[in-house]
Structure 1
């Protein structure tokens, strides 16, 4: 017994000596120049995770006011930095772009994106470059967008007609449902040469709910991502939900691909996007795309292509309903440039500076991805004199940048006029002006940036030009609450009454 007690004491003493020695050596050899950025201390084991709450972009913006533009958080066993000003974002996404060109491992990439086999989460390398190249050449780039301009005209015509019918019935329109219906069909026409949903209804609404669930669950700060040793416990139940949702999407995508393969004879000489991708499975660079890569890419295009743009449009309409003078000025501009005898065309947008200003102001105040998508450092580096360790996760708080009073005058106001003249007039959302980066910046900027801007301007412009907008009877005030996720949704979807304001011939289809 005495021997056991002696051995136990010796073991405890050895452990204590080990940790004291290790700590002392760390202090002795610590480089004083390797100073981490300031940040909150956080809790034992879980670190700063509990400090983020249900609205991480808001919580991190408040912390940045205390700790500064480059902030360090210990998140479980992981290091994380947050950039909250244009200069800080530029340092990471431009100066150190290559070092932060990869995504950190996370449950969303594993369980939703086919184990990061897609374009959004893929490692920065040959496969990612091939997926990006094919997407730009045949769907998202300038020439490709021009090639499928008529698809946008036709599908937006279906949407306008559905809204016109609702107005005749005296029924409100749920904006997010109609936007998902129209955008999914636009993307379906380009990728698959067919509409995904023949009519607006239960099937398209179910798809919308799946997309929202994907964006919401992928945006959660999952404990297992930051403490990998306990990931298997799935304490928040996030991964279980992701796995179920993935199965539903996989069934849908498999069906799309099988039906597309069966109808190949109908497209002789007229290949669509999926035909091109399949034809490039064996690339000249030696990179091979398998069926999983193709499904993952389609998942990216259908989900991000519908959700991010639709959220911006919904927020813009909400702000205009809240500020009727802005809606009136937009109507006046359109009536002067276009008149009321026809629908708005994409060629009109260049002559509608106020419409473009409304789009920019919405992207500033309600960015589609409030924290951008996370990146991770390949090597240790230095930013603003602070040491950033290897494998540090990076979040850029785009939402905070858009509401920074040191950058924007009266940032909480919705004021499109700020983009018409003065110091904000030349600011552009395409990733070069870090005051306004709704799609991110650098190598991993959203591949659909150009498409997103085209869709937002064209669809929003058409909806504003074609209809008068009012709140439903009995609704006195708009709900402006946000719902956090990869995309910043309205907590309560916008429902509004519309009435036609153009010649009846403009609604014929």
Structure 2
């Protein structure tokens, strides 16, 4: 006799088939690959999803239906449709799909990233835009960013050995880690000698465990009828949340004591949130959620963006040389660059923009969930559906970009294209109600890191290899890690004293 759970599963394919048929009869859905019962298109999707969806768009058009189990996901791949999703129909598409793990991590949307659109989201977003990421605060925190970038340069110089190749992401990752922990918590968990303290070890372990827990639910997330067979490990998530909260509260107590001693708040985000808690009626869950949102969003995306930029600059020595000529003309060889120099370095800014166009760190936007029935591109998007913008495909659309696969920063001299959500051809930070509030911070750090790497060093491929051998493929995942981490040979260009870091205590 068959086990009871198998007997219970027998009608599932028929139920799901009827469910999908109902949708297709009631709504005019976008075209797309034919889904299978139960799993939908899950087994058809290639590991690098944004490339897979871009290929399907070539066959079915710039708006497609993709079924993740029984959940309808709509993917748009050109700027006109992106504008509809993120501006014209933004209010109906501003909610957020939360997986079970995202719901647990965010206390069911008490943060910013995973909150549905509503009074809570509006309030928390105001905290971010008006208070945390205001031009005044970003300027106040500039010494921290510049300090970490110069620390990166010093570390590369220490490891430099004529003709020896270095793993570039090692140095970029250190900048990202130290920068985000100092901006968020006012703490540098890793010393200049690369020694990580006890809290830093705990911090890294919490981040790693969160990624592991989030990846443990993959298939069951998309097939609700099977979730009873793959239940959420409540104990593991509870332990993770308690561990995260314990570390955060320890740091919170340190800051409270420090603020009492100093008589005032510092500029970093943790202290700012504690100061603003009563003004905005922020719960402790929201404060912790916001801080970990910043960590999640900023930990890897900056280093990923700069690694891709350096790969393109090594593959395109003409661009590297032209950028260094501009930097030498403006900065010279007697001082280091600061963010205040950016306005006089337009080609450097174009390089950052072109790299983010070709290699957006989050190539497929986090899904927007429809809170009402809505039409996009003339097709019906039923309430509860998820809508994704394929940012990678939009930025490589041959209908709006000349030679879209070519790395050519000069294109932004020919036409100035905004990349903070106002021009829907270029969306590395999103747009509309859910645009990234830290876009300017990300742009500043990416530009600064690229600029310092080019000012201080000439970069070449490893000895015995050519730039054509650099692997420009991506690893599967939410963010676009290089499939093969970049190795390169740095050659110093400046006097010795410009490779020394002057530590900043903030």
For this structure pair, what is the TM-score category when the shorter chain's length is used for normalisation?
A: 0.7 to 0.9
Match of 1:505 among 477, 481, 497: 497
Corresponding position: 1:224 with 2:220: yes
How many angstroms does 1:84 deviate by?
0.6
Tell me the CA shift for residue 68 of structure 1.
0.9
* Distance in 2 separating the partners of 1:303 and 1:177: 18
Cα distance change, pair 175–243 in 1 and its aligned pair in 2 (3 A): farther
> Contact 2:35–2:67 (CA<8 Å) still a contact in 1?
yes
Aligned to 1:465: 455
Give distance in 1, aligned partners of 2:340 and 2:78.
Answer: 35
Q: Distance in 1 between matches of 2:172 and 2:276?
A: 31
SS for the counterpart of 1:319 is helix
Q: Which residue of 2 aligns with 1:396?
A: 389
Aligned to 2:97: 104
Match of 1:482 among 453, 470, 474: 474
Deviates further, 384-393 or 211-220: 211-220
Identify the residue that residue 487 of structure 2 maps to in structure 1. Answer: 495
Structure 1 residues 55, 168: closer, same or farther in 2, change over 3 A? closer
Aligned to 2:423: 433
Alignment correspondent of 2:264: 269
Write the mapping of 1:224-303 to structure 2, written as runs, cut at 5 A: 224-234=220-230, 249-250=244-245, 252-272=247-267, 273-283=269-279, 288-303=281-296
Contact residue 69 and residue 83 of structure 1 kept, 8 A: yes
Name the structure 2 match of 1:133: 126
Residue 220 of structure 1: CA displacement? Answer: 9.6
Summarize the alignment of residues 316-355 of structure 1 with structure 2, pairs less than 5 Å apart.
316-355=309-348
1:83-98 matched pairs, under 5 angstroms: 83-98=76-91
Deviation at 1:38, TM superposition (A): 1.0
What residue number does 1:180 align with? 173
Decide which moves more: 266-275 or 36-45.
266-275
Distance, in Å, in 2 between the alignment partners of 1:177 and 1:210 is 20
Report the 3-state secondary structure (helix = DSSP H, G, I; strand = E; otherwise coil) of the residue aligned with 1:382: strand
- After superposition, the Cα gap between the structure-2 partners of 1:396 and 1:277, relative to the gap in structure 1 and judged at 3 Å, is same
Equivalent position of 1:378 in the other structure: 371
Correspondent of 1:412 among 405, 425, 435: 405
Q: Give the secondary structure class of the aligned counterpart of 2:410.
A: helix
Match of 1:3 in 2: none
Deviations 1:267-326 (A, max 9, x none): 422334323312333445xxx433222222111112212311221111000111122221
- Cα pair distance change 1:233/1:55, threshold 3 Å: farther
What residue number does 1:152 align with? 145
Does 2:353 align with 1:360? Answer: yes
Inter-partner Cα distance in structure 2 for 1:240 and 1:469: 49
Residues 216 and 487 of structure 1 are in contact (CA less than 8 Å); yes or no, is this contact kept in structure 2?
no
1:201: Cα distance to partner?
3.3
Cα drift, residue 154 of structure 1: 2.0
Instruction: Report the Cα distance in structure 2 between the residues aligned to 1:232 and 1:157, rounded to whole angstroms.
Output: 52
Structure 1 residues not aligned, in runs of 5+ = 1-14
Structure 1: distance between partners of 2:318 and 2:234: 46
Structure number with greater Rg is 1
CA-atom RMSD in angstroms: 3.3
- 1:439-464 deviations in Å (ceiling 9; x for gaps): 11100011211111111111211111
- 5 Å-filtered alignment, 1:186-201, equals 186-199=179-192, 201=194
Give yes or no for contact 1:216–1:484 (8 Å, CA) kept in 2.
no
The number of aligned residues is 480
- Kindly state the Cα deviation for residue 474 of structure 1 after the two structures are TM-superposed: 4.7
Measure the CA separation in 1 of the matches of 2:138 and 2:384.
37
**Alignment match, 2:159:** 166
Shift in CA distance, 414/102, structure 1 to aligned 2, threshold 3 Å: same
Residue 349 to residue 26, structure 1, CA distance change in 2 (3 Å): closer
Task: Give me the whole-angstrom Cα distance separating, in 2, the residues matched to 1:254 and 1:128.
Answer: 23
Which 10-residue stretch deviates more, 168-177 or 379-388? 168-177
1:191: Cα distance to partner?
A: 3.1
